[in-house]
Structure 1
Amino acid sequence: MKKTVIIGIICGLVLSGSLIYVLYDDTSLRYNVGTLVGVKDKPQILDDNFVISEVIVGIESVTALTFIENDILFLEKESGKIRHIQNGILVDEPLWDFQVKQEGCNCYTESGLLGITSVDSYVYVYVTEELNHDEPNVENRIYKFTWKDNKLQNPLLLHILPADELVHHGGALVSDLDENVFATVGDQNLETSIQNYDNDIIADAGIILRVGYDQNFKSPSASMNPLDHYYAIGIRNSFGLAVDPITGYLWDTENGPAVYDEINLVFPKFNSGWAKILGPSNEIVSLKHTSDFSYSDPEFSWELTVAPTGISFVDEKWDKYQNSLFVGDCKGGNLYRFELNDSRDEFIFENPDLQDLVLNELDDNEEIVFGKGFGCITDLEYSSDGYLYVISYLNNGAIYKIHPK
């Protein structure tokens, strides 16, 4: 009898272990079980006139996506793979496989396959690439691919950028109405004049980069006039860029250390103020490059950090929200909506607590929360057919799409 009980216990443990292995190994199954039992949040939209649906679930470390023709390309940050959704189905074989920094490492890092955007038949990719296993040489690189016959072809290396730290690599990419491409490069904890330190050191970090501005220089800091390559400086770290389809204005999200995350309207030669200014400035502060770059206060700030990431505009297909800017965060899993004024360069709020353009610790954020329960949002992208795509990075990952009923 005792022997039978022991055998039963062993069989039960083996079966349980097998089930755990199956769940762990199958990311899609793990996602669905997680949402069913409440381990993973199921996102919701707070406006009943909108619908949210799953595009794909159970994908690991997904960071960014772009649209090309009628397809979707997305990135797996930690594996280095560019994946392809064709006719709504995930293609088994990756389009490209980079050797990314610390691939397979169970440690915290913000490096990897970070950003992607497309312009016509070209695809731009931002990646922290490990070039040699034996004596690792790690660089942040921006490549330009040609999209042809459902393949990424002819990779052209446009930029070699610093990759000195585990954090603050940025990586967001976007194109404007004239098809110019921009990239965020985090400060990587460097202390140079580009971060408004009182020295003459210049490094290609803490910037919004004009991608391909002068293809004779893959590293702008090696050129005679590095500042010409920078659209903005004084950026601590940014995971989000968007271009207003009506005005052409560039906007970004920026992460603070423990206080004052920001949304900024970014004009050419903008100085975001880091590391001298966080959030709105209540005093005149001397900044290193004030003669070349101009500072202005954020259009909105969070006093306590929420880690804003993806940022996107919509259009007339979203009716009453067509004059809104949408922002996701990674800390609370919220999707925010900000109403724009008529000139689309400031936000409008009904709540008096928000009219100082800061969400303070005790302020109510109900007016600006459009959706919640997304886990960690890493990207927002609006498609031409009226869907807002949302990437949820954590808890086995998912891509959702939102649209009016």
Structure 2
Amino acid sequence: MRKALGAAAVAAVAIAAAVALAQGSPNGTPESAMQDGALSSELVAQGLEFPTSMRFLDKDNILVLQKSGEVKLVSKGQIHDIAQFDVANGAEQGLLGIAVAPGEPADVYIYFTKNATSGEELRHRLYKYSYDRDNRALVNETMILDLPGEPGPYHSGGKIAIGPDGMLYAAIGDTNAGGGVLDNEIGGREPDDKSVVFRVNRETGEAAEGNPFSDGRLQRYYAYGIRNSFGMDFDPVTGKLWMTENGPDKYDEVNIVNPGFNSGWHKVYGPMARSNATADDLVMFNDAHYADPAFSWQYPVGITDIEFFDSNMLGEKYENNVFVGDINYGNLYFFELDKERDGFKLEGELADLVSDPVGDDPHDLSALIVGKFDGRITDIETGPDGRLYVLTFLDGRIYRIS
């Protein structure tokens, strides 16, 4: 039986596979295939190297991060150099997350693992820049967050987003370190900026007004108990934050992240009823709450990005509903929200909100998969043209779904 990879193994396996592709894969040229006959995919750009995240500047220009530290501009199919960051590039470290606040000039936020010189502590940094269109450059650097990176090299998080409230949201995993109250170790290390979702003022990095916790150590936190996440997005109808989370050897998740959410790591992953834990085993700060995932994969698929498709260009079925990608198989999943928009409309074997595939047969996932990408998926975005864009890691491509 083929076992799906846990998040900790994804990066190393993906890089090894990418090297094989570069040398000439026996499987031939990487491609995409849409399972929904109403959809088609076309290649927008190729030639990127291990891209992790992308954001649109406008309808013709996309900023793309490469894991090893390069920021690229994809403009009408051409790739241009923008910036080079000095990053630690182990496993899940590197140039990881980007957000863009439209304007002239546009504000660009970048999350990365700062390379440590001798005697330095490894850190994750989140900086703000202005984008200089004339010179294709990031200028006016301002540090917004300075976060821990050790012991690493796994669970760095890094996905960031600007909420409908104008605040900056950033996810960091446990950095491969357990034993803290933020990952539900009762009596463990005091809060140390790991395993959390930050919600901060995007100009200063200070705690945003209305955050759920009043304790000074917790004021910048929006949620905690996070093992690791490669995706977050906001429901365009309700404004609620949703995010993906990667399990160890079981239970990748999609979660609704309301203010004060405790995702349960490392005591709970997947539905609580399937674990040996109860709410009494969790560290619950004032105004915190736990909730089961909106959906779980019992055997991890290396879940990555989540995208609410805020467009009607693919038809009524897809508008304001959810796409999710994975890096183990390159599957593009589609979920329709229920009437209350606090869960998914699922039937049959998926009605229990858990995928339980047997062996190599993803029998209860076929209803969710609308596309497959040989290059594996790291990011999904709705473009200004109303189409869906998919970023693939192994072959360094951007596809447009129409």
Bin the TM-score by the shorter chain.
Answer: 0.7 to 0.9
Counterpart of 2:337? Answer: 340
TM-score by length of 1: 0.83
Counterpart of 1:268? Answer: 259
Counterpart of 2:211? Answer: none
How far 1:51 moved relative to its partner? 1.6
Counterpart of 1:211? Answer: 200
Pairs within 5 Å for 1:304-315: 304-314=299-309, 315=311
How far 1:145 moved relative to its partner? 0.6
CA contact (8 A) 1:99 1:131 kept: no
- Give distance in 2, aligned partners of 1:45 and 1:375: 14
CA contact (8 A) 2:125 2:146 kept: yes
CA contact (8 A) 2:200 2:206 kept: no
> Residue by residue, what CA displacement relative to the aligned partner does 1:324-365 show, whole Å, maximum 9, x if unpaired?
200000111100001111222110013x11000000133521
* Higher-helix-fraction structure: 1
Pairs within 5 Å for 1:40-59: 40-59=29-48
- Give distance in 2, aligned partners of 1:161 and 1:263: 24
Counterpart of 1:399? Answer: 398
CA contact (8 A) 1:249 1:266 kept: yes
How far 1:293 moved relative to its partner? 1.3
* Counterparts in 2 of 1:385 and 1:206: CA distance versus 1, 3 Å: same
- Give distance in 1, aligned partners of 2:146 and 2:43: 36
- Give distance in 2, aligned partners of 1:156 and 1:84: 21
Pairs within 5 Å for 1:28-43: 34=24, 38-43=27-32
How far 1:284 moved relative to its partner? 2.9
Residue identity opposite 2:114 in structure 1: E
How far 1:136 moved relative to its partner? 4.5
- Give distance in 2, aligned partners of 1:195 and 1:170: 14
Which residues of structure 2 form unaligned runs of 5+?
A: 1-17, 208-213
- Give distance in 2, aligned partners of 1:311 and 1:216: 24
Counterpart of 1:17? Answer: none
How far 1:292 moved relative to its partner? 3.0
1:367 equivalent in alignment to 2:357: no
* Counterparts in 2 of 1:378 and 1:45: CA distance versus 1, 3 Å: same
* Counterparts in 2 of 1:216 and 1:207: CA distance versus 1, 3 Å: closer
Residue identity opposite 2:169 in structure 1: F
Counterpart of 2:287? Answer: 292
Residue identity opposite 1:98 in structure 2: F
Aligned with 1:125: secondary structure? Answer: strand
- Give distance in 2, aligned partners of 1:158 and 1:324: 32
Query: Alignment length, in residue pairs?
Result: 360
Residue identity opposite 2:83 in structure 1: W
Counterpart of 1:110? Answer: 92
- Give distance in 2, aligned partners of 1:84 and 1:371: 26
Residue identity opposite 2:341 in structure 1: R
CA contact (8 A) 1:55 1:401 kept: yes
> Residue by residue, what CA displacement relative to the aligned partner does 1:94-148 show, whole Å, maximum 9, x if unpaired?
211110014xxxxx5110000001012111100101153x445421000011123
> Residue by residue, what CA displacement relative to the aligned partner does 1:243-274 show, whole Å, maximum 9, x if unpaired?
11121111000000000110001111100010
Choose from 73, 77, 81 the match for 1:84.
Answer: 73
How far 1:290 moved relative to its partner? 4.5
- Give distance in 2, aligned partners of 1:184 and 1:386: 27
- Aligned-residue RMSD, C-alpha: 2.4
- Give distance in 1, aligned partners of 2:340 and 2:374: 31
CA contact (8 A) 1:130 1:137 kept: no
Choose from 349, 354, 358 the match for 1:358.
Answer: 354
CA contact (8 A) 1:331 1:375 kept: no
- CA radius of gyration, larger in: 1
Query: Identity of paired residues, percent?
Result: 37
Counterpart of 1:141? Answer: 125
1:193 equivalent in alignment to 2:189: no
Counterpart of 2:62? Answer: 72
1:247 equivalent in alignment to 2:238: yes
Which residues of structure 1 form unaligned runs of 5+?
A: 1-26, 103-107
* Counterparts in 2 of 1:175 and 1:374: CA distance versus 1, 3 Å: farther
TM-score by length of 2: 0.84
Counterpart of 1:21? Answer: none
How far 1:86 moved relative to its partner? 2.2
How far 1:387 moved relative to its partner? 1.8
> Residue by residue, what CA displacement relative to the aligned partner does 1:173-232 show, whole Å, maximum 9, x if unpaired?
1111122121110111222000010125211111111134793769xxxx9713121111
Residue range with higher mean Cα deviation, 330-339 or 358-367 = 358-367
1:163 equivalent in alignment to 2:149: yes
Residue range with higher mean Cα deviation, 329-338 or 191-200 = 191-200
Aligned with 2:336: secondary structure? Answer: strand
Residue range with higher mean Cα deviation, 304-313 or 369-378 = 369-378
Aligned with 2:218: secondary structure? Answer: helix
- Give distance in 2, aligned partners of 1:128 and 1:99: 8
Question: Which structure is richer in relative contact order (CA contacts within 8 A, separation 6 or more)?
Answer: 2
Counterpart of 1:12? Answer: none
Aligned with 1:111: secondary structure? Answer: coil
Counterpart of 1:129? Answer: 114
CA contact (8 A) 1:175 1:243 kept: no
Residue identity opposite 1:397 in structure 2: G
Counterpart of 2:210? Answer: none
Aligned with 1:157: secondary structure? Answer: strand
> Residue by residue, what CA displacement relative to the aligned partner does 1:288-338 show, whole Å, maximum 9, x if unpaired?
124331000000001111111011011222222114200000111100001
